[in-house]
Chains A and B, each alone.
Chain A
């Protein structure tokens, strides 16, 4: 149930700001010891949920603990006027910077919202023309989209034959599958899922690799957005000079 709420915090500084706002703390006089402990608790929870996101939080937690430790020690560093430097100063500076920036981002959102109500010449035509055949943007496809499509097909693929405990040679080769794929796309573009319905896992996987390979050689185009878990393939006119030697 914590997951939903951690989503509210975009990053490690947001989590810190959350504590400050929640307890209505004076940002120039943060009770570091308490906040550091609380922060660490939150990061532990986060770590259990999402290790990737936790890395940035762990860094900030470490920073807080370091400041907490420095607060306990005699202050050795002095500023230009010979005054002892508050170990929190740099963090506070960053937080203030971040607060201003977030406000800038919010103002930009307002500006974008206003802009959305204004239309310029030529826009309508572009939109209308683009809408039916939008997918001319191969970069929109992330690797994760493709992997997700592969996963969908694999789950649907024909069950592997009963285990025979014999090691057989991989029965599909990449260049065979490249040829197979090009032939299959000869007439018209097809969706990846439709193309491989009922095929076995080795067949699907090698064909997937063949599709990536052909896309890289610009012999097929990958068109994303058919459904979230599928993509389409079609023959592409090869570039005048193939990049591969």
Chain B
């Protein structure tokens, strides 16, 4: 079997920087470093190509990691198939799961940012004070200036930690929201709660109550 050809110096440099860094690096970060060392500007598109080439090598060589866009920049990350092996190293990941109220508030911020608390409250129909505080404490959102509207309320936006938690390279990678008609016509929209209903009806209404509806039963 032929040994693979050595990496060109540029790809080697990109690989070394990404390997050694504990934080995600953006193309502009890489370009700044290389400009300083080599004294020449590198087109940012060249980094996309280098990452692509490196990933192809990793794949061809059967390596356990790839370079991925996470949290606003590139990082080496292991393949998800190896999760069972790696998970044993991690004693505790309770903190990473968000409650429904935190998640909903985070989704409003993510899709509407920058957004004020009154707007978030309006979408959710509840006071989001507690949820926003939780998100701020976890570093998933941050204050992003003030709105020009009456009272100049604070504006909230997501942070790189948010991108990392959801495995997103940038805000452009946010899952696309489906059009409302598509969701409404999706059979699962009604079915999902029908199940809930039968539970509710069973528990809340005594047997034989004519008001207990069980559409799926």
- Which A residues are within 8 Å of any B CB, using their own CB? 1-2, 4-5, 8, 10-13, 17-18, 21-24, 27, 56, 59-60, 94, 96-105, 107-112, 114-124, 127-128, 131, 139-140
Contact = CB atoms under 8 A, between A and B. Distances in A.
Given A98-B125, A101-B104, A121 B178 contact: no
Closest CB pairs A-B (n = 4): A115-B167, A117-B80, A107-B175, A21-B193
The size bracket of the interface on B is 35 or more
Contacts of A127: 89-92
Contacts of A112: 96-98, 165-167
Interface stretch (B36-44, B70-78, B141-149): B70-78
Given A24-B190, A118-B68, A118-B78, A12 B108 contact: no
Interface stretch (B5-13, B26-34, B50-58, B197-205): B197-205
B22 interface: yes
Contact of A10 (B68, B104, B204): B104
Contact of B125 (A1, A8, A13, A100): A13
A121 B75 contact: yes
A21 B186 CA distance: 12
Contacts of B132: none
B111 interface: yes
Contacts of B91: 127-128, 131
Contacts of B194: 21-22
Contacts of A24: 190, 215
A18 B197 CA distance: 8
B126 interface: yes
Contacts of B178: 100, 103
B103 interface: yes
B116 to A, nearest CB: 16
Contacts of A115: 70, 164-167
Interface of B: 19, 22, 68, 70, 75-80, 82-83, 86, 89-93, 96-98, 100-101, 103-104, 106-108, 110-111, 122-127, 137, 164-168, 174-175, 177-178, 180, 183-184, 189-190, 192-194, 196-197, 199-200, 203-204, 213, 215
B118 to A, nearest CB: 14
Contacts of B90: 119, 123-124, 127
Given A22-B194, A111-B168, A100 B175 contact: no
Given A108-B166, A131-B91, A118 B80 contact: yes
7 contacts: A21-B193, A21-B194, A22-B196, A101-B124, A108-B166, A111-B167, A117-B83
B213 A22 contact: yes
Given A5-B203, A112-B167, A13 B124 contact: yes
Nearest to A28: B184
Given A12-B125, A18-B193, A105-B104, A100 B180 contact: yes
Contacts of B96: 112, 116
A128 B89 contact: yes
A124 B88 CA distance: 10
Contact of A96 (B93, B180, B192): B180
Contacts of B103: 105, 108-109
Given A11-B124, A131-B92, A104 B100 contact: no
Given A104-B174, A108-B174, 17 more contacts: A1-B204, A8-B196, A13-B125, A18-B196, A56-B125, A56-B126, A94-B122, A94-B125, A98-B125, A100-B177, A102-B107, A104-B110, A104-B175, A118-B167, A119-B86, A120-B75, A121-B76
Contacts of B184: 27, 99
Contacts of B177: 100-101, 103-104, 107
A124 B137 contact: no
B203 A1 contact: yes
